[in-house]
Structure 1
Amino acid sequence: SAGNHSVAISGVAANCTVSGGNTQTVTVPTGGTVTASFAVSCVTPPGNLTVSTSTTGANLDPNGYTVTVDGVSPQAIGINASVSYTNLSAGTHTVAISGVAANCTVSGGTSRTLSVPSGGTATTTFSVSCNAPPVVNAGPDQTAVTGLLYSFSPSFTDANNDGPWSYRIDWGDGSVSTGTRTSQGSWSVGHTYVIVLPRSFTVRVTVTDSHGASGSDTKVVSVLLL
């Protein structure tokens, strides 16, 4: 009928707004037509991001790490934990992890690019592997005799068991012995000291694993005359 009428629009999505509101009052003329227009504008709904860490190996960093998104919004994260970011704009974001200990490496690198879906959740996991250096035991201080072969049996253990291992023996008199070990444990090495007066030498045993982590230990060898 001609006259004033209230026109309403409903079912508008939560991410959309109606300019001027959802209801309009229009006047219908006798024998005529009136048009009611609603201007609806919508924004892309944000998304969420979950970042996780998985740390394995030995000598883990108890302080954990720090996660950032697009270089900002830092959050502390444990070595085996998760953190969440909500209401991120849908699209591409750069996620990075920092504070990784020097003996640890991150598979695929410390930074990666993710696509956060509108209204959804993106997930990523940083896999961290930590390497413990070999633990070396040079043994107790000992006595040697000049001109005679002195031998001893150093040993080592490696929590990661990442051999083969290379070793270096610095005998303290400028001489060096090197070699390779394919298993943990002890082995025998020897050296002949030549002196004119009794003296002591500090022997250093260094073992390096296949990832470049090394450990060392020392002992004192007192060399006597015949």
Structure 2
Amino acid sequence: MPMTQSRDTWNKVTELNHPEGFLLGPVNAATWLRDPRHMGFMLARYKFAAKMMRRCQAILEVGCGEGLGAFMLVRDTPARVLGVDFDEAQILYAQREVAPHGRGRLSFLCGDATTEAQAAGPFDGLVCLDVIEHVDQKEEARFLENCVSVLKPGAVAIFGTPNIASDAFASPPSRAGHINLFDPDRFVSTLEGHFSHVFPFSMNDEMVHTGFAKMAHYLLALCVRQGG
């Protein structure tokens, strides 16, 4: 095949690409193969969280899974980021595959926030996306108490969860795992029991908005711990 100016330019571009390969973990690979749109939705949630955390110096992600969101927080903030999850297999993947790309500011720990607070604080930022719907309602208060206990006064936190109204359209795996779904009112009132300020947002696909929350697919809240 003859070399053209266009091909020569493209070859120069490819030489600038990152030389290291990167394999998705089993959970995110399954998401990509089953519903690639959902990967876009997930990353958009972390983009919003990173914007809200842009001045944080130490961020805890509770329920980090395989660590892709924690990696985004490192890339888009100056913070030291600790990702915690009780799924040992996902943490082992994150430690092996994701942490080495974290610029020395990314680490992962296996732990369960429903039973104990994490000892590596204090943090001035917390991210907890797609987690609280998996927490049994009887364990919900302790889970949130453990999250708040490691935060500095004035720290900011982002929580996100599917709206209970979206359950009718959820996949079988989602329905099996979502044992504690919220409507917008209960979501805000629950968080107000643990934070001095709660600012609710909504989300449809990748779009974050302040529209009619009862029709939103996903619920977000920006929270501030008392004392700031």
**Hey, which of these two has a bigger chunk of helix by percent?**
2
TM-score (norm 2): 0.20
TM-score (norm 1): 0.20
**Hey, which of these two has a bigger chunk of strand by percent?**
1
